[in-house]
Amino acid sequence: MTAKPQLPERTPRAKGEPTALDGLLVVDFTRVVAGPACTQTLADFGAEVIKVENPDGGDDTRHYEHAEIGGESAAFLSLNRNKRGIALDFTNPAALEVARELIAKADVVVENFSGGVMKKYGLDYASVVASNPRLIYCSISAYGRKGEFALRPGFDPITQAESGFMSLNGFPDGEPVRTGPPIVDLATGMSACNAILLALIARDRLGRGQQVEVALIDTAVAMTAFYGMAYLVSGANPGRFGNSPNGSPTVGLYQASDGPLYMACANDRLYRRLVTDVLDRPDLVTDPEFAHRKNRTANKEKLRAIIAGIFASNSLEHWMAKMKKANIPVGHLRTVEQGFNAPEVRGRDRLSQIPHPTAGVVPNIETPLHMSLTPTIDPVAAPLLGQHTREVLRKTLGYDERRIADLAEAGAFGKPGNTA
């Protein structure tokens, strides 16, 4: 059994440092991946994010089976840091009134329900904008909120498949492969966050909010990037190329005598340094078959076989030292365990442990965003289901204890009496 990694406690931020989104109130009706990834970024930089969940089980990711600690899943912990959690039963009229009051106070609402759900409960943009004209209302969906597919449910791997994105992943002689992590979900969450921040800037100029929308299928299409554009330009359908792009025969995975390395030697200047300073084969520059990029592409299998034979003749340590000296882009092929314990990661303080109410402490992966004047807040672990219901109602909406008790008794938070 693999031992869990030892993680340091996180160094607190300096006292008095401002945050980028201080004072911004976000009501988060999202679940699973794309929506929570979006709102977590807002929370990391100081927004007050109130995560609203169904009291009957909450966010689906709470029950994902990758791993769990303190009764919470790794998936949920990874996507819901720095949020305050409340539980509301939307089938209860009293709970819907609480949701409407939260929306009326919010700067931002983010939702990723199936099409028609928010409208069914009177919580869609058209139903709430009159009470809050400055509201930024972000909808995240698989196929958009309009058109013939608006009501169709969808998930990350489905849109990877349908957009053509998946057809680009894998080896030419194998079937298409989805990415391991849900890359379309995560990229859609990033896009949603960008859209919200753009709308907030526009609100400062225009004096009013707006509805913004992102869809998984749109993100997947955009992520075909220059391969999609190449198809539109040439009409030629791009295919899979494994670890070596078709136009870059010296990019890819190679085996040293004791393990794999990945090299990205993608231009003429790097190629010349590789074959002369690292491989000691200056003839691979003068040989007409390999002298120019187009020739190397035309003869890529022959060239790759030559390079592979040379790499196999010596150790990783040998080749890494020579390529580092020649400034050739190269890296070890690592597992997650190896990557998380590598100096490139540990040296940047990417991993830590933070307090958690049931687990004691839980691991934390830092946001990749860095800001010199407004750094991230000190991270707080993802909330337990309904953990902050009473606190939010009291502090954000100004409810007294009697009103909170009445709501609990009416079942607004699920079974009567269920409130944190």
- Known catalytic residues are 185
What are φ and ψ of residue 251, in 5° steps?
-110, 130
Cα angle 312, 322, 288 (rounded to 5 degrees) comes to 70
Tokens found for residue 389: 């219901």
Tokens found for residue 234: 């040439």
* DSSP annotation string for 368-385: S---SSSPPPPP-PPPPT
Identify the H or E element spanning 325: helix 316-325
Is 212 in a helix, a strand, or coil? Answer: strand
Residues 263 and 328 sit within 8 Å (Cβ to Cβ): yes
What b/e string do you get for 226-264 counting C-beta neighbours within 10 Å, with b at 16 or more?
ebbeeeeeeeeebebbeebeeebbbbbebebeeeebebe
Q: Which long-range contacts (CB under 8 A, 24 or more apart) does 248-252 make?
A: 249/296, 249/297, 249/299, 249/300, 249/303, 249/304, 250/274, 250/296, 250/303, 250/304, 250/307, 252/304
* CA–CA distance, 106 with 231 (Å, rounded to integer): 43
Residue carrying the six token digits 């004072």:
23
